[in-house]
Amino acid sequence: MRSGVIFGVLAALLAFPDALALKANDFKTCSKSGFCRRGRALSARAQEAQASWKSPYSLDPSSVSISPDEATVKASVKSSLYPDIKFGLELRIHDDGVVRVIMDEVDGLRKRYNEAAEWALVAEPKMSKTISWTAGKKDLRAVYGEKKNIQIVVSYDPLRVTLLRNGKEQIVLNGRGLLHMEHFRSKTVKETSEEVASDSSGEGQEVLQVENVRAWFEGESEDDWWEETFSSWTDSKPKGPESLSLDISFPNHGNVYGIPQHATNLSLPSTTGDDAPYSDPYRLYNADVFEYLASSSMSLYGSIPVMHAHSADSTVGVFNAVGSETWIDISYPTKKSTHTHWISESGIMDVFLLPGPTPEQIFTQYARLTGTTALPPHWSLGYHQCRWNYVSSDDVRTVQRRFDEEDMPVDVFWLDIEYAEDHKYFIWDSKTFPDPVKMTDDVAAIGRKMVVIVDPHLKRTDSYPIYKEASDMDILVKPKSGEGEYEGWCWSGSSSWIDHFNPASWDWWISKFKTNKIDTGFSWTQSTEDIHIWNDMNEPSIFNGPEITMPKDSIHYGGWEHRDVHNINGMLFHDNTAQAIRFRGDVPKRPFVLTRSFYAGSQRISAMWTGDNLGTWEHMAVGIKMVLANGIAGMTFAGADVGGFFGNPEPEMLIRWYQVGIFSPFFRAHAHIDTKRREPFLLEEPYKSIVRDILRLRYTMLPIWYTAFRENSVTGLPIVRPHYVMFPKDPVGFAIDDQFFIGSSGILVKPITEKEITETTVYLPDDQVYYDYFTHYAYRGSSQGNYVTVRAELHQIPVFIRGGSILPTRERPRRSSPLMKHDPFTLRVALSKSGTARGELYLDDGVTYSHQQGELVWREFVAEPSAKTTRISSKDLASANPSQTVDGVMLETYNPKNAFVKEIEEVRVEKVVVLGLSNKPKSVKVENGAELYWEYIPGVPASDKKEGTSSVLHIKDPKVIVTEDWAIVIS
């Protein structure tokens, strides 16, 4: 939530008039950021010099040392600009072919921040045991890959790192000579010249040259080297200039994706060049951007420096593990090549090159580095009802009752900041929430949950135990002096922030969430294990800070400046909160924590939402693209606020927004405190019934979503997938981002995000039949792709099942998802044009970690044609794939009769719907069993080329058990 607009309503802010003047231009453009300006100026000089431009950086061949395992090579690098400054370069080849490129200043005046990757990586990567570096006269090389077709080449002079496949350049570092690591220096010119003068004779002249060269390469002045002012804030920059500029080119890839979070197209529009839509580079600097634009390269709340570069031949990726503010220019010199230029304020160079060559492999390579999303609690895939604010415990009860009266499913009720007395999180306002435990128990009576906000700003008053304890422990972020406590303004008035980089904060923070009394201070006894947590404002948002965040010269644990760790900061907060929720009770349970700020690795344990969007059609549309882009960078449990945070959407817009919401991994409605109430039960007819159906559709499809989460937990493949991921060879799909697929299920969706639409065009990418989910009308793709026009009136969502898919659903309306645990399944068997189909179903208890011990069900459904019969069977996938089962955990053995299977052993398949059979069957039987009840409606067969309503076979109650092997034979 949040923005300047509402400040007027808050008494705390009257004490702080500056906050009232907040507006969008309170954020820097590149031209207002010293190091970005310097980076762009470097690029401009290179462009001007054209062919005569040469990178001053070179590798010293005499320094090359190859590790005994031969997978790591180290060498010295120097810059002809500053011959006395030393840099160290290291390249490591991992066992999956990922190449890590590290460069740092050696024996510098100070130390560059080098811990970003440590926070992001899930484990220390394993080095290759088979790949060897060899040092030649002009370069270092390693050749690898199954077909020995991948080459990594490090050219000495100028320094250049190139990844090639089949002799074709895939990724090039410093190919354009924009590499520049600003070394640490002393502030005054005088000191520098004295230092140099005391050196041996002859050096004096060289220094003069150095000065000249610097004037040319680094620009003509010390542009904001030592101090920087923005609006009324001054950044003291005690370490001076330390930025890092690096160009990364993809000479054979014409589309790039990723680097969330930005409100823009999935295929990233250019920022430089003649018709670049954006004038500023993409910025990664976690910020609470007030009323953000629906199309912009501006920073938002989270940053993941991961980029995919794609062409019909190959996909490659880079992960640039940097935690400081970073700007990225993108240009497309040709339709088939991409230039990018990364400019970071501080930190070492630590870049991972992901060789692909398919999107799937990129996801797996990135997941091996930073992890996948652990299976979330199952209920968190249900519908979340939020508002700033449900004002009392009775308000919560009334809202719950209204959902039940209207037969609308919902799983979670949320409380925003007003539950807390004076915004002291954990401390309930006893006037409005006198009975928090009882209220939560009432909500939990049918398995529902609550999510309550805990923000990172701590009200600075000794009567607030969280602040008092943190202050006594000296674990708060410090001001630039390095002494005492940094103080800023937020919801709670004068506030301080826990330094989660300080390990002393970890166990302490975890202990605060215990629901029982503890010996060491406060614990949240006024809560239950049915309360989960929302971490907002964790960029951190600070109303009187520069760009509404923490001053960059504030000091964290280890003496690091906030500038070094800013983009990582939010992740540590939600990560520690999630650990707290996981371990607060006797039995560890899966936490649900929603975060606004995030970094590479955040995906492991938290969900995110796209922040304070506006109730406009543009925001609705861009929310889909943002969720897709987050998935590209691993942060797949994502969604945008349904309805838009600001504004009062008319019923049409609200309905369309629910249609978008049910097709997002995270599905929450939320609203600003100044908006009218807009819970779905408040709608008039026919809108109310339309929304009820939409909510029910989400619940019907929960098995499909949960199964997609399982797959993500092992492979890193996103839950919602854009076209280029599904059909990487089809160029038409490379820029498509308004329709997408759900996991591997075969569902294709195109939500409507425009006003007064009655039909729309959908792109079908391949030569396959696509069935309308609701009407069973069969549309045809073609090998060149095909556009079809489909109905899309207000109650209609364009949803298709790709031929060849089997979808498990649960069709009985329930008030909450836990009530569905023993419900029977329906299988939709959507035959491909060759009469086959396949699908998966994953189930477990949805709450504990027993699935990691193998208490789960993972089934495969297959439909296979043979002479005049179609056989639909169910078999156990978990027994066959113990290492691929779930959460990346290796199951020692899988017991098909495990405790969870026993718990649901009565759950059956109550209906099978087969789409696209060619003929009316003569008989439909469970294999070796009796004839079943069935009904056949003639229609277009899957094998046909023509469009029309497909044939449908309804098989009623075959009485097969979902956890068992079985087969149904249609002949």
Ligand X SMILES: *[C@@H]1O[C@H](CO)[C@@H](O)[C@H](O)[C@H]1NC(C)=O
Binding residues (CB under 6 A) for ligand X: these are 265, 269, 277, 295, 735
Max intra-chain CA distance, the chain: 102
Find the shortest distance in angstroms from Cβ 412 to ligand X: 34
Q: Is 566 helix (H, G, I), strand (E, B) or coil?
A: helix
Find the shortest distance in angstroms from Cβ 761 to ligand X: 13
Rounded CA separation 127/339 (Å): 29
CB of 264 or CB of 744, closer to ligand X: 264
Find the shortest distance in angstroms from Cβ 723 to ligand X: 13
Find the shortest distance in angstroms from Cβ 248 to ligand X: 21
Find the shortest distance in angstroms from Cβ 277 to ligand X: 4
Tokens read off for 960:
């097969």
Catalytic residue among 105, 350, 612, 766: 612
Of residues 315, 313, 306, the one with CA closest to residue 367: 306
CB of 278 or CB of 379, closer to ligand X: 278
Tokens read off for 734:
């490379």
CB of 561 or CB of 737, closer to ligand X: 737
Of residues 264, 72, 93, 115, the one with CA closest to residue 163: 93
The CA-based dihedral angle spanning residues 533, 539, 542, 545, taken in that order and rounded to the nearest 10 degrees: 170
Find the shortest distance in angstroms from Cβ 270 to ligand X: 8
CA 355 remoteness from chain centre: 21
Catalytic residue among 485, 539, 679, 730: 539
Find the shortest distance in angstroms from Cβ 295 to ligand X: 5
Q: Is 612 a catalytic residue?
A: yes
Contacts of 342 (CB under 8 A, 6+ apart): 244, 245, 246, 247, 248, 305, 320, 322, 326, 327, 328
DSSP state of 4: G
**Structural contact between residues 417 and 457, judged by C-beta atoms closer than 8 angstroms:** no
Phi, psi for residue 25 in degrees, rounded to 5: -80, 15
Rounded CA separation 116/347 (Å): 8
Rounded CA separation 355/340 (Å): 17
DSSP state of 510: H
Rounded CA separation 515/528 (Å): 6
Find the shortest distance in angstroms from Cβ 278 to ligand X: 7
Find the shortest distance in angstroms from Cβ 668 to ligand X: 26
Q: Is 539 a catalytic residue?
A: yes
Rounded CA separation 817/843 (Å): 13
Rounded CA separation 213/164 (Å): 33
Amino acid present at 826 = T
Query: Which H or E element spans position 723?
Result: helix 723-726
**Structural contact between residues 162 and 153, judged by C-beta atoms closer than 8 angstroms:** yes
| Burial class of residue 400 in the structure, from the number of CB atoms within 10 Å of its CB (0-12 exposed, 13-18 middle, 19+ buried) | buried
Query: Bridge partners of 431?
Result: none
Rounded CA separation 337/356 (Å): 17
Query: Bridge partners of 870?
Result: 865, 970
- In 845-885, at which residue ranges do the beta strands (DSSP E only) sit? 856-866, 869-876
| Burial class of residue 752 in the structure, from the number of CB atoms within 10 Å of its CB (0-12 exposed, 13-18 middle, 19+ buried) | buried
**Structural contact between residues 389 and 673, judged by C-beta atoms closer than 8 angstroms:** yes
CB of 735 or CB of 913, closer to ligand X: 735
CB of 332 or CB of 388, closer to ligand X: 332
CB of 277 or CB of 938, closer to ligand X: 277
Residue 251, preceding bond cis, omega within 30 degrees?
no
Catalytic residue among 105, 139, 329, 536: 536
CB of 262 or CB of 851, closer to ligand X: 262
Rounded CA separation 902/896 (Å): 9
Tokens read off for 168:
């074709």
Find the shortest distance in angstroms from Cβ 311 to ligand X: 18
CB of 268 or CB of 451, closer to ligand X: 268
Give the residue carrying structure tokens 């060289």. Answer: 206
Rounded CA separation 633/644 (Å): 24
**Structural contact between residues 250 and 357, judged by C-beta atoms closer than 8 angstroms:** no
Give the residue carrying structure tokens 């639909």. Answer: 872
**Structural contact between residues 353 and 101, judged by C-beta atoms closer than 8 angstroms:** yes
Of residues 843, 969, 958, the one with CA closest to residue 911: 958
Radius of gyration, alpha carbons of the chain:
29
Contacts of 455 (CB under 8 A, 6+ apart): 417, 423, 425, 490, 491, 535, 536, 537, 538
Order of all β-strands in the sheet with 769-772: 720-721, 740-742, 747-749, 799-802, 769-772, 777-780, 948-949
CB of 270 or CB of 389, closer to ligand X: 270
Rounded CA separation 702/409 (Å): 12
Residue nearest to ligand X (CB): 269
CB of 172 or CB of 660, closer to ligand X: 660
Find the shortest distance in angstroms from Cβ 625 to ligand X: 8
Catalytic residue numbers, as ranges: 536, 539, 612
